[in-house]
Amino acid sequence: MSYKKKENLNARPYWERSYAKKQKYKNHEDFHYRGEIKITGKETDMQECKECHRILSLTAFTSGSLRSDGAYYLKKLCRECQTEMEAEKREARKNAPPKSEGCDCCHGKNNLEMDHLHGTSIFRGWVCRNCNSGIGSLGDTLEGLLQAAVYLEKDKSKIIETLNRIKKGNRG
């Protein structure tokens, strides 16, 4: 009985099956062409650069990763900021020491990437992809990271306790 019901559901067109899929389908109508290349968003859309915060037309951004419908997402940084960032990274890489054994942050061993101090060409460390993107998502600042700590643990003394334990563990 219940099996039959399931089968009927599956026979329905996919955009009627769930809200999530309907949303996805809708989003994918949102694209335009840049020459031969399919780009996400409408040609007239504007996007704010995450670095310089200027609101620019989509042509100011280069393509990044690929969406499931074959359209490219655009980078979050405008062309100018992207170029600057790449130059910083190239410069930082020249002065970088050899790769660490593990992530300089969590000590994990997977996918180590070079991290540099934003806005400079100063090498900061070798960190895993998770730490790198996590720190970046939290604003790349101590304040952002501590805000998350306060969100996770309301008791300030416990945060300090944990901080001391981590420091002891890492530096003998």
**Residues in the site for Zn ion, rule: CB under 5 A?**
49, 51-52, 78, 81, 103, 105-106, 108, 128, 131
- Nearest to Zn ion of 49, 92 (CB atom): 49
| Closer CB to Zn ion, 38 or 96, in the complex | 96
- Closest separation in Å from C-beta 157 to Zn ion: 26
Shortest reach from residue 70's CB to Zn ion, in Å: 27
Cβ contacts of 58-61, under 8 Å, gap ≥ 24: 58/32, 59/34
Q: DSSP state, 162?
A: H
Do 97 and 63 meet the contact criterion of CB atoms below 8 Å apart?
no
Closest approach of Zn ion to the CB of residue 28, in Å = 27
The C-alpha atoms of residue 127 and residue 115 are separated, in whole angstroms, by 7
> Which letter, b or e, does each residue of 94-122 get, where b requires 16 or more Cβ atoms within 10 Å of its Cβ?
eebeeeeeebbbeeeeeebeebbeeeeee
User: Minimum Å distance from CB 21 to Zn ion?
Assistant: 34
Nearer to Zn ion, 77 or 92 (CB): 77
Task: Rank residues 13 and 97 by Cβ distance to Zn ion and give the closer one.
Answer: 97
